[in-house]
Amino acid sequence: MAKQVATMLGDSEFDYISKAREKAGLSMYTFVKNAIMLAAERELNEPAVKSPLLEQMIEALGSRKRYLYQLGPYSDANHREWLSGRFTAATNREIREAVAQWRAAGGTT
């Protein structure tokens, strides 16, 4: 029996994935399935060692302050932009990973 996985993408994310899929010459199904399998393999086979830069970014997110006039918490996109400005040596993947790990650990700012 086959299982299904679904997600919601914004227009820009969908366009980005579509461009990569077209360049690879694959159907959307095959492209997304390959991406999911690669991500699963990376998570299951990669050692759980955090780089010092990743730890610094997670710590910085934890100490980030909210403004008095701020109505709600920062979005993940806002955190990624903030980190890219503070940690210019970090790659996009490291920044996304830092935000994801921080959220998974209960980060709510």
For the chain, which residues make up each domain, given as ranges?
Answer: 11-45, 52-104
Compute the distance between CA of residue 58 and CA of residue 70 in angstroms, rounded to an integer.
Answer: 21
What would you report as the CA-atom Rg of the chain, rounded to the nearest whole angstrom?
17
Going by C-alpha positions, the residue among 7, 67, 10, 65 that lies closest to residue 39 is 7
**Higher model confidence: residue 104 or residue 47?**
104
CA-to-CA separations, 13 to 2, 8, 83, in angstroms, rounded: 26, 10, 20
Residue-level pLDDT at 109: 62
> Is pLDDT at 105 greater than 90 in this prediction?
no
Q: What is the pLDDT of residues 44-84, one digit of tens each?
A: 776 555 688 888 999 998 888 777 676 767 788 889 999 99
The model's pTM:
0.53
Compute the distance between CA of residue 109 and CA of residue 60 in angstroms, rounded to an integer.
Answer: 11
Please check whether residue 42 is in contact with residue 35, taking contact to mean a CB–CB distance below 8 angstroms.
no
Of all residues in the chain, the percent with pLDDT exceeding 90 is: 20
Residue-level pLDDT at 87: 92
